[in-house]
């Protein structure tokens, strides 16, 4: 009886939620791509394993990162930048798989941004407790292109603020398959991720993986 009662509760979260002018949350948008995304992700990680980078201030990030595409985001003592070479291997970052490109372009269209052709995909891995403090994505040369962010694995609380650091962020629960697109008037809005709660995701285990697609160069 109890199970039936729970099943009768409808999921009232809208599939498409406008977060700000130029920003939209597309729930479940990546689900149709999952069968291609996960194996492609495994191959990337085998070539360019996750690593916890250091900020210019000398702090080690709690989020582990890697990249695919012709440019990859890196941080070290000298600053933040995009680099075509993985500093750990000395080789170019793995190529961006077609399924990644396709998902990013289709999500951008759903967010009203046509012809999005990302050249960089930053891959973030959060284990329980990992977080990302409020920041702007401003290391890209082209702010006309949006950011497309794909969430996989454990749910997270995404904080989305405004153009000023002091703007109070709204909190959005991002689940496996959810995609956020922001650009245009909200391209430089502050955003971050609250410390990841512990849990076990059915297919991804005890972690959250986020893909952010950018036009970096
Ligand atoms: C980022 O801002 O680069 C990551 C956002 C996220 O993990 O959802
Ligand atoms: Fe970001």
The tens-digit pLDDT sequence of the chain (217 residues) is: 445 555 665 667 789 999 999 999 999 999 999 999 999 999 999 999 999 999 999 999 999 999 999 999 999 999 999 999 999 999 999 999 999 999 999 999 999 999 999 999 999 999 999 999 999 999 999 899 999 999 999 999 999 999 999 999 999 999 999 999 999 999 999 999 999 999 999 999 999 999 999 999 9
Note the ligand closest to the C-alpha atom of 62. Answer: 1
Note the ligand closest to the C-alpha atom of 211. Answer: 1
SS3 69: strand
210 C-alpha to ligand 1 centroid (Å): 6
CB distance 124 to ligand 1 below 6 Å: yes
CB distance 64 to ligand 1 below 6 Å: no
CB distance 212 to ligand 1 below 6 Å: yes
Pick the CATH number of 16-214 from 3.40.50.300, 2.60.120.590, 2.40.110.10, 2.40.50.140: 2.60.120.590
DSSP state of 167: S
For the whole model, what pTM was predicted?
A: 0.94
- 15 exposed, middle or buried (CB, 10 Å; 0-12, 13-18, 19+)? exposed
Note the ligand closest to the C-alpha atom of 64. Answer: 1
Provide the residue ranges of all domains of the chain, joining segments of one domain with +: 16-214
- Please tell me the residue having the least CA distance from ligand 1 atom 3: 212
Is the Cβ–Cβ distance between 188 and 43 less than 8 Å? no
Nearest Cα neighbor of 190 from 119, 132, 136, 116 is 136
């Amino acid at each position: 009886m109890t199970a039936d009662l729970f099943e009768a509760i409808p999921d009232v979260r809208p599939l498409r939620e406008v977060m700000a002018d130029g920003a939209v949350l597309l729930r479940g948008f990546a689900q149709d791509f999952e069968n291609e995304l996960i194996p492609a992700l495994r191959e990337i990680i085998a070539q360019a394993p996750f690593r916890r980078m250091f900020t210019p201030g000398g702090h080690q990030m709690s989020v582990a990162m890697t990249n695919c595409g012709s440019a990859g985001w890196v941080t070290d003592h000298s600053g933040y930048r995009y680099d075509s070479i993985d500093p750990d291997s000395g080789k170019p970052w793995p190529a961006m798989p077609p399924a990644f490109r396709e998902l990013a372009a289709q999500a951008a269209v759903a967010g009203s941004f046509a012809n999005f052709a990302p050249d960089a995909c930053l891959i973030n891995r959060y284990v329980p407790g990992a977080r990302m403090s409020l920041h702007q994505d401003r290391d890209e040369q082209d702010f006309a292109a949006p950011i497309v962010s794909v969430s996989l694995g454990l749910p997270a609380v995404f904080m989305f603020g405004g153009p000023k650091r002091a703007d109070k962020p709204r909190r959005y629960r991002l689940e496996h398959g959810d995609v956020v697109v922001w650009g245009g008037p909200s391209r430089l809005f502050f955003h971050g991720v609250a410390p990841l709660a512990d849990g076990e995701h059915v297919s991804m285990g005890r972690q959250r993986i986020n893909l952010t697609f950018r036009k970096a160069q």
